[in-house]
Structures are given as structure tokens and as C-alpha cells.
Amino acid sequence: MNVVFIAAECAPFAKVGGLADVVSSLPPVLVERGHDVRVVLPHHGIIDDARFKIEHLDSFEMMWAGGTARIDVSFTRYNGVRVYFVKGWPYITGSESFVYDANEGVNVGRYLFFSAAALAFINRRADMERWRPDVLHAHDWHTGMVPFLAAKLYPVESALRTAAVVFSIHNMQYQGWGVGWHLDHAGLPPVDNHLLAATGKNDNCLAVGLAYSTMVSTVSPSYAEEILSSEGAHGLDGVILTRRSRMRGILNGIDPVRWNPASEGVLEAPFDAERLDEKARNKAAIQRVLGLPVKTGLPLVGIITRLVDQKGPEIMVPALRHMLYHAEMQVISLGSGDPHWEHEFWKIGSDYPSKAIAYLGFDEVLAEQIYAASDLFLMPSKFEPCGLGQMIAMRYGALPVVHAVGGLRDSVPSDVGFLFNGFHYNDVITVLTEALDMYYNRPRFFRQRQKRAMSLDFSWGRSAKAYEDLYTQAVDYHHQYLN
Ligand code: ADP
């Protein structure tokens, strides 16, 4: 099958969160299974062209705002996947130092432009190569306009119209409001879907993606259920319910080569389930580097997260303060985001200098070192579409302490991690206390859990098959619609 991923992020080129990991790790698995999968990304200014041997491939003019915009496309191959990078003035000039601007209005214009340019490029490439995509696979609100634009701008016989569109939701919370103004400004047709108009959602990129795509998926079976409620759908439950029969929940995987505690590289002491004792050397190394007392007998709690409300800082902060006051443990957190939460974490570090350190920022090397050094991994998300942090943590023998929602519930077995149901800091305190009790008083059980965690398979195998089925269904539905 010929599939084109269209997305805002892809590791290692440009990463903000789990979306980048998915867009990076699923395509190579599908290629190995015999499909032609390509990826189209914005040519963000933060992408290191020299490092990834990204070279200019093509330029063309696209109709835009009553005139034309020049689009430049560059190319590289990564893990056997063709990756294209789209650039064009004024939205993606190659000099922006962000993936997402802090201003939603700028983002909506920018990603509408990207979606239009990506489609124009795919259409052009299809003609040039006499190649046709079977499926356009769009991800999150940034590419929510893809199915609408493909349907409205291209003639029935074009490569884009014969392709089905699969729209994957990685997070319902981010929706991209205000696209109507940008469509008008760009000289593009208005969204004319009656249901969206009736519910006041025709200005919302995520809703448009839901309404116009052939099939919809989200990133875990539990989240697929949770977003049927108004709270879970962040107000789009009406739209979701109309697409329910076309929706699937497929758990994300991780790349077991990228996330491998046994590989030489950034870890002080590579290890696996048979050499679990080596984990302590990684703990000592990070304690030394970050300036905590080097005590490998102390349980270390790791936190690696975007510091936003979704990830549960409101219950994490009071629970950590309570635990640090009462228990013998250490905490290392790595994250950036909301300045309020950055400050709260920083204050924990400064109030408990010998027990906690808050590293504010985004650092992939440090992240891997924390996964490897930690005994426990705290992720009490309020809601969690899938979550990759807990899967990576288990691969490195750090037992997840998680709120049992969404992908956390679907991926953390109760005989491996420590799960809680309420969303209150007392729930975090209760399970963390239970985990520390096992660490100190039943170390053999704790170790067995770590070994079990490390033996779990989070690779893409099963989910890649589920995506193949999804693509096949989408192609069938789309051809029924065309005929
Ligand atoms: P989300 O996509 O909602 O941010 P996920 O758990 O799905 O959450 O994915 C987060 C990914 O980003 C993981 O690979 C995690 O290791 C990484 N990550 C999150 N915060 C940081 C950070 N501050 N520095 C480095 N990596 C981070």
C-alpha cells in the first residue's frame, strides 16, 4: 500500500512530544512490512539539514491569497523512509526557531499553509512519478484541514481524490481554532459541512479533520472510549459521535532500537534484565552529575514531561512535597512548559536540595539517562491519549506510577506498575508509599516487577498490523464513496 504521512513533528528532525516519536517509528515498520510509506513535514528552522543530509529536491508555485506562493521541497531518506520537508514564504521560511508558535492564530495560519503545500507537493510528485497514494495519513489538528482541502481543491480523477484520508488524533485538547479567517484570507473555500456549522465547529481544524476524513483513529483503545464524553472530547463529542463507526483506538508502540538500555551511547552502564544491578551505576552517575548525594540505595523517582495541566502537576507537586518531607527518596524531574509549573518544580528542588532536582528544559540525552537511573517513573496525567514515557520507562526497568486512564491504563499492567483511579494528590501519596514500601521491604518483588517490565513488548508489531487493517478499511470505504 502507498501511504503518505503528513505531520508537524517527526523525531529526530523536530520533536516536541510523543507525536514526533510515532511519526518517526511507525513508517519504517510499515516499510519493512512491504509498504511504500513517505513522510511530509514542515521545513522547520530548527531542523539540522547538514546532519541529516537534507537536500533541495523541487520548487513550484502554489495559488495563495490571490497570488502565488513559492514552495521549496527538500528531501532525505531516514530508516528507509522517504522524508520531504516543505518550505514557503511567509509561514515556513526556515528561520523560525519553533515547531509551534505561542500564538494559536499564527499556528492555525501556518499549518493551513503547510497542509495546502504538502497536498500540492504530493499531487505534483504523484504525476511526476506516475505513483498514486492509497492513503493520506494526517496527524492531529495541524493537518486537520488535509481531507477538506483534498476534497475541495482537487479534481475527482487526481491522485489526491482517489486516496482515502486517515486522520489520527494524538490529543483532543489541542484543536486549532479560527481557521475560517485564514481560509478566507488565503482565497480558499469556506468549510460548508452542515453538522459543523450547526454545532459552531466549522472554524475548528480538529473538527474539520474528524468530519471530512474517511477513517479516524486515536492512540489507545481506552482513549477512544474516553473521547465519547463531552469532557474527554473537549467539546467535540457531538462530532466524534457522528464518526464513531469509523473510529479505531490503536495503541502506540515505541522503537525498541532507539530506546534500548543495552545499547552503548549515552548511558554510564548499559544494562538489560539479566544485568539489572548495572542500573545502580546509572543512578550514581546522574546523582553525581546533577549534584545530588550519591546514594544508590535510595529509591529514585524520575519525571520526564511537558509541564502542562494535562500531565497532572496539580497533584504531583503537593504529593512530591509530602513524600520528600516524610520519606527517604530522591526525585529528578525534567520538563518545560507552563511557567507556573516550571516555578513550582524549581521550588521543590530548592526546598529539598539534597533530595530533589528540577531540570527545566528539553534534553533527550538527559531524558534517557533519567529513564535508566530511575526506580520509579511518575506520570499521573489527568488524561493521557497514549503516553510513551511510561513505556520507555518500563523498558529501562523504571516502574510507572500512573493514573489509570487512557493509554496509561492500556499499557501498564497492574503487576508491573502502580496504578491509581482517583485524581487527587492523596492517591499519588498512597501508591508512591506502597511502591516505596515494596522497594525497601520486599526488594525481591520489586526486582521481579522490574524484570517483568523489561520483558514487555512495546514494539510496533501488533499495532502496525492494526494500521494496515485501518488503511484497508479506509480504502474500501473511499472506493465505495467514489463509485
Ligand atoms: P506527550 O506527547 O503528551 O508530550 P508522551 O508521553 O506521549 O507525551 O511523549 C513524550 C515524549 O517526549 C517521550 O519520548 C519523552 O521522553 C519526551 N519528553 C518529554 N519531555 C521531555 C523533556 N523535557 N526532555 C526530553 N524529552 C522529553
For 243-276, write each residue's pLDDT tens digit: 999 999 999 999 999 999 999 889 999 999 999 9
- Tell me what percent of the residues of the chain surpass a pLDDT of 70: 100
Burial class (CB in 10 A: 0-12, 13-18, 19+), 177: middle
For ligand 1, atom 26, the nearest C-alpha belongs to 364
How high is the pLDDT of residue 462?
85
pLDDT tens digits, residue range 295-330?
999 999 999 999 999 999 999 999 999 999 999 999
Flag whether pLDDT at 442 surpasses 80: yes
Rounded Cα distance between 242 and 210, Å, is: 9
- Atom of ligand 1 at shortest range from CA of 381: 3
Does the Cβ of 17 fall within 6 Å of ligand 1? Answer: yes
Pocket test for ligand 1, best of 99, 220, 304 (most atoms within 8 A of CB): 304
Query: What confidence category does residue 211 fall into, taking pLDDT thresholds of 50, 70 and 90?
Result: very high
Does the Cβ of 237 fall within 6 Å of ligand 1? Answer: no
What's the pTM?
A: 0.95
The answer to whether the CB of 46 falls within 8 A of the CB of 14 is yes
- Atom of ligand 1 at shortest range from CA of 254: 14
Mean pLDDT of 65-88: 97
Q: Between vectors from CA 382 to CA 226 and to CA 320, what angle results, nearest 5°?
A: 155
For ligand 1, atom 9, the nearest C-alpha belongs to 18
Flag whether pLDDT at 130 surpasses 90: yes
Rounded Cα distance between 28 and 37, Å, is: 8
Distance of CA 457 to CAs 19, 223, 409, 464, 467, Å?
A: 20, 20, 16, 13, 18
Q: Could you tell me the distance, in angstroms and rounded to a whole number, from the CA of residue 355 to the centre of ligand 1?
A: 23
How high is the pLDDT of residue 231?
93
Does the Cβ of 400 fall within 6 Å of ligand 1? Answer: no
- Atom of ligand 1 at shortest range from CA of 304: 20
Q: Could you tell me the distance, in angstroms and rounded to a whole number, from the CA of residue 418 to the centre of ligand 1?
A: 20
How high is the pLDDT of residue 319?
98
- Atom of ligand 1 at shortest range from CA of 310: 3
Query: What confidence category does residue 102 fall into, taking pLDDT thresholds of 50, 70 and 90?
Result: confident
Question: Which amino acid is it at 351?
Answer: D
Q: What is the mean pLDDT of the chain?
A: 97
Rounded Cα distance between 303 and 379, Å, is: 7
- Atom of ligand 1 at shortest range from CA of 384: 3
For ligand 1, atom 15, the nearest C-alpha belongs to 389
The answer to whether the CB of 142 falls within 8 A of the CB of 117 is no
Does the Cβ of 387 fall within 6 Å of ligand 1? Answer: yes
- Atom of ligand 1 at shortest range from CA of 305: 20
Does the Cβ of 364 fall within 6 Å of ligand 1? Answer: yes
How high is the pLDDT of residue 295?
98
For ligand 1, atom 19, the nearest C-alpha belongs to 305
Q: Could you tell me the distance, in angstroms and rounded to a whole number, from the CA of residue 322 to the centre of ligand 1?
A: 25
Does the Cβ of 363 fall within 6 Å of ligand 1? Answer: yes
Q: Between vectors from CA 101 to CA 117 and to CA 112, what angle results, nearest 5°?
A: 25
Flag whether pLDDT at 104 surpasses 90: no
Mean pLDDT of 461-469: 94
Q: Could you tell me the distance, in angstroms and rounded to a whole number, from the CA of residue 18 to the centre of ligand 1?
A: 6
Mean pLDDT of 29-35: 97
Q: Could you tell me the distance, in angstroms and rounded to a whole number, from the CA of residue 367 to the centre of ligand 1?
A: 9
Flag whether pLDDT at 483 surpasses 80: no
Kindly give, in sequence order, each residue whose CB lies less than 8 Å from that of residue 465, ignoring residues fewer than 6 positions away. none
Mean pLDDT of 8-19: 95
Rounded Cα distance between 429 and 431, Å, is: 6
How high is the pLDDT of residue 289?
96
Q: Could you tell me the distance, in angstroms and rounded to a whole number, from the CA of residue 406 to the centre of ligand 1?
A: 16
How high is the pLDDT of residue 482?
80
pLDDT tens digits, residue range 186-210?
999 999 999 999 989 999 999 999 9
Does the Cβ of 99 fall within 6 Å of ligand 1? Answer: no
pLDDT tens digits, residue range 340-375?
999 999 999 999 999 999 999 999 999 999 999 999
